[in-house]
Amino acid sequence: MTTLNNGVEANITQTQPLWLLAEITYRCPLHCAFCYNPTDYADHTKNELNTDEWIKVLRDARKMGALQLGISGGEPLLRDDIEDIVTEANQLGYYSNLITSGVGLTEKRIDAFKAGGLDHIQLSMHDITEEISNFVTDTKTFKLKQKVAAMIKDRGYPMVLNVVIHRYNIGHIKEILEMAEKLGADYVELANTQYYGWSLINRNQLMPTKEQIDEAEKITNEFREYIGNKMKIFFVVPDYYAERPKKCMNGWGEVFMIVTANGDVLPCHSARVLPNIDFPNVKNYQLNEIWYDSSAFNKYRGDDWMKEPCRSCSEKENDLGGCRCQAYLLSGDAEGADPICTKSPHRHLIDQALEDSKNEILQAQPIIFRTDKNSKELIQGEHKERLKDFKAMP
């Protein structure tokens, strides 16, 4: 549930929240090891916005030009008002997308979504083997996902499969693509794990080697050649093996706006880890004030905030210095270059992580799954040894 920027026009001159992501609840029946939700999500599961508050958010964002709506979580289907929300979204002219694990998608609900005008459903899949799928999600959901995929297809929805790639499934890329073909997928996102939130704590256990990534990319390209236009495949290359960072979210406060379960508004999923920023809440401010005028949204807009090596870098337009959260989590400096960049004085942290990914002793440590219990323990300061390399709790 990571890549959103395929196909966004590159040269946007004036900021506009074209993409609205509603992280509608942090509650989730799954416990994925790579979940990008904040590790302290247990603190944010209270005070969820109610239906009317969400509808106001949709209306206000639409007035500001928002077009693509993602309804995600957690597992959005844990709320019983998704029907009302998609109906409203359709009336407002959004292209709406339900991002789900499939748990809770019944015939009755999918029919109501269809009637309400939901445009597509993005289903997360994990592997071809029941064992691994159930293992990384820490639940028995493999068979259910297969059933849900058939239901999505049956209702005439474009089928978008999102598969987060990590050490446990990277060896099965070909089989995963074949499974997608069999299910009739129209789009497949092979999203290599990005290391934020839970995936960062579990980085040593999840990160594949460079050779595995290269092999996976090669197989993907061959499969693309074979399948042609029938199934679009996105292979999202992981940051860590690159020399330059990505232009995170297409630029801070440029085109993406995330409204979280309790109404906080963020420019990217993990922005809450950053120090000295108060993210405004829709209960206290108008959405357009938040987007245009709040200090949070202006803090890293454009490039005025940069320092060296980014400030005088000839490539700064390409990546805007990369991801602020990654810079802060790994180096402790939120204004520094993203440590992915080989010009960053902190690049050695990435190289160390790549080394660590080959270390069998580190790999053998248990995965900390995304559960309420683990979240509460992390909030209370347990698991220190797993967090010592990170400057803020990921």
Partner 1 sequence: MTQKIELTDIYKIAPHHRFQWEEAQNCYVILFPEGMIKLNPSAGEILNLVDGKNSVENVVTLLKEKFKDAGDIEKDIISMFEFALNKAWISKE
Q: Judged by CB under 8 A, which stretch of 47-55, 106-114, 184-192, 316-324 contacts partner 1?
A: 184-192
Q: Judged by CB under 8 A, which stretch of 42-50, 183-191, 263-271, 332-340 contacts partner 1?
A: 183-191
- From ligand SF4, partner 1, none, which one binds at residue 3 (CB under 5 to 8 Å depending on kind)? partner 1
Q: Are 78 and 25 in contact (CB under 8 A)?
A: yes
User: Tokens 């698991």 correspond to what residue?
Assistant: 383
What is the rounded CA–CA span in Å between residue 67 and residue 129? 37
| Residue among 379, 361, 301 nearest 12 (CA) | 301
- From ligand SF4, partner 1, none, which one binds at residue 119 (CB under 5 to 8 Å depending on kind)? partner 1
The single-letter code of the amino acid at 149 is: A
Q: Does 379 bind partner 1 (CB under 8 A)?
A: no
Q: Which of residues 99 and 337 has its CB atom nearest to partner 1 in the complex?
A: 99
Q: Are 213 and 258 in contact (CB under 8 A)?
A: no
CA distances from 240 to 87, 199, 213, 295, 352 (A): 40, 13, 11, 30, 11
Q: Which of residues 2 and 134 has its CB atom nearest to partner 1 in the complex?
A: 2
Helix (H) or strand (E) holding 386: helix 384-387
Q: Are 32 and 371 in contact (CB under 8 A)?
A: no
Q: Are 323 and 227 in contact (CB under 8 A)?
A: no
Half-sphere exposure of 184 (CA within 13 A, CB side): 14
Q: Which residues bind ligand SF4 (CB under 6 A)?
A: 1, 28, 30-32, 35, 37, 73-75, 101, 124, 244-245, 309-310, 313, 315-316, 319, 321-322, 337-338, 341, 343, 370
Q: Which of residues 62 and 299 has its CB atom nearest to ligand SF4 in the complex?
A: 299
User: Which of positions 45-64 make contact with partner 1 (CB under 8 A)?
Assistant: 63-64
What is the rounded CA–CA span in Å between residue 151 and residue 257? 30
- When binding is defined by CB under 8 A, the residue of 13, 229, 284, 314 that contacts partner 1 is 229
For residue 227, count other CB atoms closer than 10 A to its CB. 17
Q: Which of residues 68 and 205 has its CB atom nearest to partner 1 in the complex?
A: 68
- When binding is defined by CB under 8 A, the residue of 92, 112, 130, 158 that contacts partner 1 is 158
Q: Does 4 bind partner 1 (CB under 8 A)?
A: yes
Binding site residues, partner 1, CB under 8 A: 3-4, 6-9, 16, 18, 63-65, 67-68, 93, 95, 97, 119-120, 122, 158, 160, 186-187, 189, 229, 234
